[in-house]
A and B are shown apart, each in its own frame.
Chain A
Amino acid sequence: MKEILLNRKLNRFGTILFNIGMFCAVLLFFSVFVYVLIIAYWVIAVLLFAVIIICSLGLILTDSGSRAFMGHALSAPMENIEAIQLVTKQCAIPFCIVSCLSFIAALVFFFILPKTRGKTPKIVFCFLGIVIAVVSAFLSYNIAIHG
């Protein structure tokens, strides 16, 4: 019984790290495709929304330039790829590091755990996530710099 309860706690902390890693990896992945697929624009817009919503709220309230930018953003999404390009350039490497470290830590937790529901898919996704995060960060950073 005690062992099961301990495993449940380990599973929770492993899942938290997995979620953080996956969030960063997916953000990086779609940031590569934002230049070629319009659907990726909307996916990344939703993901970035979670990160920048607070910044936007603050800026809209205080800065007239930002207010104009947000108004523009809502009316013409295609032209805002430049804004995503800027975010990608600034954040690709930190996001990649956070993603990889989270996945590695999550893998340690999952390898400790005995066989449980969803353990194997999570381990597979961790390895995939590391590869995706590194490749996406490299590609998106280069595209952002060289255009």
Chain B
Amino acid sequence: MKKLTILLLPRYAKFVFTCNATELIFKKNTSGYYESTYESENDEVDIKIDTLPSELVEKHWGCYFLGAFLVSIFSIFNPPYPKRDLFVLHYVGKINMKDNPTITIAFANPLKDGKALLLKDEVSQLYFSDNASNVYRLDIKAKKRRSLIIFLRVMMIILFIIGFIVLTILFTI
């Protein structure tokens, strides 16, 4: 039985990490790294790393946004939709498990077509297969919707002020 240990540097990225279709659960170790292990009889294992898509491209996103918009009093108390969620990663690759390796990976800062997963030591590079899928892709749909939401928020504040002024004038006349 071969054992693969994966260490992830702490980052704000939300991800799903699967080895041979088994989702790995990461726990923080004493060094502050997120650690998970996977055991298999095979010498090579298929890995898949996906970041979560933005809330703005989910099914029924409009209904959820409208709900949050109303509850948060016209988005005043609504936490912002993070820019990093606009970048998605769908990495598919293989890891060599011959020598029970320990691989240390970090998520890079999201940039359009920039490298997503960085290997933190030379040993990791021997076992981890880097390929073309290891890049961040910008979700254009999410970007457009996020811009629309920011525009809507600004417009609502302006409309609210104008509306109140008009109402005040009407009541005082």
Of the listed stretches B64-72, B102-110, B118-126, B144-152, name the one at the interface; the rest are far from the partner chain.
B64-72
User: Contact check: which of B55, B79, B165, B169 meets A19 at CB < 8 Å?
Assistant: B79
Q: Is A13 an interface residue (CB 8 A)?
A: yes
Contacts of A55 in B (CB 8 A): 164
Q: Is the interface of A mostly helix, strand, loop or mixed?
A: helix
Residues of A within 8 A of B165 (CB): 54, 57-58, 61
| B168:A9 contact, CB within 8 angstroms | no
Q: Does B78 belong to the interface (CB within 8 Å)?
A: yes
Bound together, the chains give a CA A59 to CA B71 distance in angstroms of 28
* A-contact 0/1 string along B1-19, CB 8 Å cutoff: 0000000000010101000
Other-chain residue from B64, B72, B172 in contact with A62 (beta carbon distance below 8 A): B172
Residue of B nearest to A116 (CB): B14
Task: Give the number of chain B interface residues (Cβ < 8 Å).
Answer: 23
Q: Mark A55-72, 1 if CB is under 8 A from B, else 0.
A: 101110111000000000
Say yes or no: B55 contacts A16, CB within 8 Å.
no
Residue of B with least CB distance to A55: B164
- B52-88: which residues lie under 8 A (CB-CB) from chain A? 52, 55, 58, 64, 67-68, 71-73, 77-79
Bound-state CA distance A23–B172 (Å) is 31
State in angstroms the CA–CA spacing of A9 and B61 once bound together: 10
Q: Output the least CB separation between B90 and chain A (Å).
A: 13
> Is residue B161 within 8 Å, beta carbon to beta carbon, of the partner chain?
yes
Q: What CA separation (Å) do A23 and B103 show in the bound complex? A: 44
- 12 more A-B contacts (CB under 8 A) besides A13-B67, A62-B169, A117-B12? A4-B16, A4-B52, A5-B52, A9-B64, A16-B77, A17-B71, A20-B72, A20-B73, A23-B77, A58-B167, A58-B168, A61-B169
